Structure 1
Amino acid sequence: MQDEVRTAAAFYTGSAGERTVHLLGPYLTQRWPDLKGQRLLGLGFAAPYLPLWDGQTALSVSARLDSATQCEAGRMQYCRECVVSGRQLPFDDLSFDRVLMIHALETSHAGHELLRAVWKVLRDDGRLLLVVPNRRGVWAFSDTTPFGQGTPFSQRQLRVRLEQSMFHVENSRTGLYPPPFPRLGGRRAGEAIEKAGRSVLPTFGGAVIVEAVKNIWGGLPLLTAKSCRPVGRRIFETG
């Protein structure tokens, strides 16, 4: 994953990265308009997007997935940042209200374990906002951006992956319609293309943006019809 994060660090320090945050930001804040008093975890390379909720959250943490890239990506340090393993996150269970994942799942070699680790650190009423490259979008074919790294997903593929990891998808859409070409990357031109893309080609944006909630019942034991004894809640690892 070292090359992917190096690409993300270089990308977001440039004008193209700033425009990308400008285009994707409204989708994220539309889903989460107010995070006052919430605990937010940004997983992958989410640091450029966490300032969208500055002054709202009680705690905001950026967690990268590969320790080998810490020095390479040092220029994009967030005020609270750490490097973590994608298989087991170093946070207590039920410790975050929201998790924003971007530039994470598509480059992970243990995607199921990563989503299960997110499931554990989310509170029972917590929400996951996941951004991945869209298999149908142009950005997935541009290896000069972080959206051209790893394995892209269709909306259906991402929904299946989340359901297998005990998440329920509540909202799914695509965004980031301007192609990743400098001449078409101006702010005004990008906003116009973004607006037109949502109306004309709603499934062909460069990124899939999905909001999901925990399926807490998927880890509960079933009661037989003959059982009358109350059973306390117990969570079991599945899959």
Structure 2
Amino acid sequence: MTYDTVRIMLDEVRSADVFYDTSAGAGVVRLLARRLTARWPDLRGLNLLGLGYTAPFLSEWRDQSALTVAAHLGTVPDTMLHRHEADCVVSCSHLPFPDLSFDRILMVHALETAPSGRELLRSVWKVLRDNGKLILIVPNRRGLWALSDTTPYGQGTPYSQRQVRRLLQEGMFHVETCETALYPPLFPLLRSPRLSTAIERAGETVLPACGGVVILEAVKNLWGGVPLTVGKRTFSLRRRLVEAE
């Protein structure tokens, strides 16, 4: 992992930490948490892993799940771990958990800043149980939020729905649902819960592809294979002549 990669990840954590302490950040959590709890209403007895910056969202299930782990990607100083409510810091290419450890994995502010999205998803595939589920939230390339670098949703690489679907399929995941969310414009309208909720619901109907983020729920593809690299090869064939009696 290069110095620039570590710096980008650290800047992402800092910007997320500052953003979610604001009223606008609280508005984002309120809108997205409604989507998340609709997908996962009851996690009693299940192990939950959050990758990226997930502390504001994991609180929705912390009293339910049997185990909740919040993991940052990259290198974060110890003084920031307590402030971010993170349990550990992990590498994108290797998650320090046994295979098949978690029933649910939530990824927020993770894929778009990872040095290799394919490696990260492959590591996630290993630690997710065979009947487990993954929710991935990434900035939407077609949304307004990806155009502003004043929020964590304007950091890293945004994705279209087609791009992130393809990336998940290459990582041996099957996408069950895909939708966009976060329709209200930045800051002002998010401070009003009633108005921002009304705009969110209207956006789902009027502009279903133009939300600020893409939310996907996926399961493991247990029957898929790792694609082979196609290349030109030459073979030297030898003929062996056998004298018939």
RMSD between aligned alpha carbons?
1.7
CA contact (8 A) 1:41 1:96 kept: yes
Measured in 2, the distance between the counterparts of 1:119 and 1:181 equals 35
Measured in 2, the distance between the counterparts of 1:208 and 1:111 equals 16
Distance verdict in 2 for CA 1:155–1:67, change over 3 Å: same
Report the alpha carbon displacement of residue 71 of structure 1 after superposing the two structures with TM: 3.6
Q: Which runs of 5+ in 1 are unaligned?
A: 220-235
> Does 2:152 match 1:146?
yes
Distance verdict in 2 for CA 1:200–1:86, change over 3 Å: same
Report the residue type matching 2:175 in the other structure.
V
Match of 1:40 in 2: 48
**Which runs of structure 2 are paired with 1:137-216 in the superposition (5 Å)?**
137-182=143-188, 185-216=191-222
Report the alpha carbon displacement of residue 68 of structure 1 after superposing the two structures with TM: 3.4
Distance verdict in 2 for CA 1:119–1:238, change over 3 Å: farther
> Does 2:30 match 1:22?
yes
CA contact (8 A) 2:189 2:195 kept: no
**Percent of paired sites with the same residue:** 59
Distance verdict in 2 for CA 1:162–1:148, change over 3 Å: same
Measured in 2, the distance between the counterparts of 1:12 and 1:238 equals 42
Q: Which runs of 5+ in 2 are unaligned?
A: 1-8, 230-245
Q: How many residues align?
A: 221
Larger CA Rg, structure 1 vs 2: 2
CA contact (8 A) 2:23 2:190 kept: no
Report the alpha carbon displacement of residue 73 of structure 1 after superposing the two structures with TM: 5.9
Match of 1:58 in 2: 66
Distance verdict in 2 for CA 1:114–1:155, change over 3 Å: same
Report the residue type matching 1:141 in the other structure.
L
Measured in 1, the distance between the counterparts of 2:228 and 2:101 equals 21
Report the alpha carbon displacement of residue 16 of structure 1 after superposing the two structures with TM: 1.3
Q: For 1:43-81, what per-residue CA distance to the aligned partner results, in whole angstroms no more than 9, with x for missing partners?
A: 000111001113210000000002235544642215xx1
| 2:18 aligns with one of 10, 25, 30 | 10
TM-score when normalising by structure 1: 0.88
